[in-house]
Amino acid sequence: MTISSLRDIRLLEESHIDPMSGLGSTYEMIANGAAIDPGSIALSFFLRSEDFKTPVTWTYADLLADITRAANMFRRLGVDRGDVVAYILPNLPETHIALWGAETAGIAFAVNPLLDGSQMGQLLQAANTRWIVTVGSNPDPEIWKRVESAAESLTQLRGLLCIDALKHLPGYAGSQALPTTLDNVPVLDFHRELARESGDELNFTPPGPEDIAAYFCTGGTTGLPKIAQHTHRNETSNAFQVKTFVAGHIVAPGQTVLTALPLFHANAQLGTGLAIFAGGGHVLLASADGYRTPGLIEHFWEIIEHHRVASFSGVPTVYAGLLQTPRTGLDLACLNRAICGAAPMPVDLFRNFEKETGVRILEAYGLTEGTCVASINPPDGESRIGSIGIRVPWQAMCTMIVDNNGNFERLAASDEVGAICLSGPNIFPGYLNPGQNRDIWIDAAGPDGIRRRWLNTGDLGRCDADGYFWLTGRKKELIIRGGHNIDPKTIEEVLAEHPAVAMAAAVGRPDPRLGEIPVAYVQLRAGLDADASSLLKFAAEHISERAAAPKAINIVDALPVTAVGKTFKPTLSMWEIESVVRAEAEAAGAELAELHVEQDAKSGFVAYYRVRDPDSAGATALGTALGRYTFKISSTDPTL
């Protein structure tokens, strides 16, 4: 059935009480999808943008056989049900093969290959990683250098498997040179080890629904990563929910979905991966570096036409770039839906994209803790600009009023802002570190009167009378000005309406009297110009809440973003703290010798500084001045 409203969701649930109860592992779900048409194309890939017309391909029979080989390989290498295999990879066909094979034999751990070696090492150690799958010197030697650095601290590591990505280049006949060992653990060739295995069937019993399938590092704007756990039930349930919600538009046998978001992120792996494979669709993997690949945006519309792409997912910065890419004379009738769910879409960008391209954008919402997707604007119903849509089937979603300690007080009324809470088979069992699970659960009756365990997402929002949800901010991002809470979205939405503004992000600047005052960072549209004073005037004239008007606007070439394109506000907050320290040092007459700001897992933001003359009156005055702020300060840091 088609889904156009919350009523359709409820009717579907009434007629199919628990359709996910029969789902097993992710391996079994892919196998069931492959059985629809084993000879159809499941996965295509091109390494360079200019090679998009001649991709390498896998049929469903090929893909399932390679995943089976990978699972058997990991089991031969000693990976048992609770053992962790980390994949530190760009977007490659082998990434899919390795991760689904790892989930079948043990636990797959998605690690961002752009992390520095130190942080990568901390995460790998926390996960008790046994094997690493990565790339050697091809195509990015920097990844190998980071992995080398990270591996030095891993006491439980048994070995590494290396992929040669250049083997996908047309006419490539070379091979990569690999060390035989790294810190006394073996370094093996992934392709050679894979070829040793049979792809006919698993040589061990597949995992069960409640077994842990994967670890993911939580992304977003809220700070240092936590490691979230997914069970096989979580992933198969959410894939089934998504497949059911968008059936025929995005998920259908033979229908092509372009994937260019990173595969270490749940959206690409599950939303445009497992859900597509489960429905017998075709995943077009657009190059190793995704949207960051040189020439991909420039060739994007040609790729859509050539491969008859039906859908893709992107973030606002991608949509803004695509609007500036010529598409005249191309037949794009195949493209009927696009998804935006990693960050809120500016209203003007949303409207301009739909008007100029004729492609309908479905804004969605999800988080790693909910496996991937929690709500979407219905593909057959009304898309409400700015809304994250209605909940996916077989998942409860509501807004709750909670106190400052996260304790339940009551359900929020229609259109009343509260904490967005989720309950269902797609909700994760918790973080790997038990201490991080204390404040995320709520035991309460939902709108239907049924008592459940709910995940408090930490996001603030409201639900209208028709079941559409609207994000209003994140509790931890609130700017608190003299005890007055300011939602940064209030500032960002107004600035986004300015014709010269492409993107805007508001944060709190530390203030000794008010605690914080609102400031904004702005990225201008290509070819347009505006100065800070005119933007400040515009904001003051259009922001109805006087206290929310920003006190300063900083124009930057590009806002800092995460690997999946979300604005990374901790960087902006650190810039503001550094600016405050420099201003106070100047006022105190203290000459700074060193200054840097870091985000500490326990203490939050810490400003480390050193003055040239620590015994001077200026140094004393600076210490006194900085003591008036809420951020942590330290004049002693071993790295300075």
Residues in the chain, overall count: 640
Q: What is the dihedral of CA 141, 145, 150, 154, to 10 degrees?
A: 90
Q: Is the peptide bond before 139 cis (omega within 30 degrees of 0)?
A: yes
pLDDT of residue 336: 87
Tokens of 547: 């206290």
Model confidence pLDDT, tens digit, residues 534-556? 999 999 999 877 788 999 999 99
List the one residue out of 101, 90, 216, 104 whose CA is nearest residue 163.
Answer: 90
Dihedral pair phi/psi, residue 593, rounded to 5°: -95, -35
Burial readout 198-225 (b: 16 or more C-beta within 10 A, e: otherwise): ebeebeeebbebebbbbbbbbbbbbbeb
pLDDT at 638: 42
CATH architecture of 6-437: 3-Layer(aba) Sandwich (3.40)
Supply the DSSP string of 75-114, one letter for each residue.
Answer: HHTT--TT-EEEEE--S-HHHHHHHHHHHHHSEEEE--TT
The residues near 485 (Cβ < 8 Å, ≥ 6 apart) are 478, 479
Parallel/antiparallel/unpaired status of strands 553-556 and 592-600: unpaired
Dig out the tokens for 508 from the structure: 């709190």
Express each pLDDT in 512-523 by its tens digit. 777 889 999 999
How distant, in Å, are the alpha carbons of 46, 199, 251, 277, 438 from that of 57? 9, 17, 19, 14, 46
State how beta strands 375-376 and 360-365 pair. Answer: antiparallel
Distance between CA atoms of residues 358 and 336, nearest Å: 8
Q: Structure tokens of 2?
A: 């088609």
C-alpha of 6 from chain center? 26
Tell me, what's the pLDDT at 633? Answer: 85
The confidence score (pLDDT) of residue 223 equals 40
- Compute the distance between CA of residue 618 and CA of residue 622 in angstroms, rounded to an integer: 6
Amino acid identity for residue 393 in this structure: P
* Alpha-carbon dihedral angle through residues 350, 352, 353, 359, given to the nearest 10 degrees: 100
d(CA 392, CA 375) in angstroms, rounded, equals: 5
Residue with tokens 């909700």: 427
Q: What is the pLDDT of residues 489-511, one digit of tens each?
A: 889 989 999 999 999 999 999 88
Residue 375 CA to residue 363 CA, distance in Å, equals 9
In the structure encoding, which two tokens stand for residue 176, read together?
A: 């990569």
CATH code of domain 478-565: 3.30.300.30
Q: Please, what's the b/e burial string for 371-393 (b: 16 or more CB within 10 A of its CB; e: otherwise)?
A: bbbbbbbbbebebbebbbbbbbb
What does the alpha-carbon distance between residue 576 and residue 479 come to, in Å, rounded to a whole number?
13
**Given this model, what pLDDT does residue 140 score?**
79
Q: What's the confidence (pLDDT) of residue 402?
A: 92
Counting other chains too, the contacts that 49-52 makes at CB distance below 8 Å and 24 or more residues apart are 49/287, 49/293, 49/294, 49/295, 49/296, 49/298, 49/299, 50/295, 50/299, 51/169, 51/170, 52/286, 52/299, 52/302, 52/303, 52/306, 52/307
pLDDT one-digit tens code per residue, 34-44: 999 999 999 99
* Residues 459/420, Cβ–Cβ less than 8 Å: yes
Joined together, the tokens standing for residue 100 give: 């689904």
Structure tokens that stand for 146 in this block: 């980071």
Contact assessment for residue 270 and residue 244, using Cβ atoms and an 8 Å cutoff = no
- Which pLDDT does position 490 carry in this prediction? 83
Structure tokens at 534: 């005119």
In the prediction, which pLDDT does 640 show? 43
Question: Can you give the pLDDT at residue 546?
Answer: 78
How far apart (Å, rounded) are the C-alpha atoms in residues 344 and 342? Answer: 7
pLDDT under 50: residue ranges of the chain: 220-223, 637-640
Please choose, from the candidates 511, 499, 507, the residue with its C-alpha nearest in 3D space to the C-alpha of residue 535.
499
> Which one-letter DSSP state was computed for residue 567?
B
* CA 447 to each of CA 98, 245, 407: distance values in angstroms, whole numbers, following the listed order: 42, 22, 17
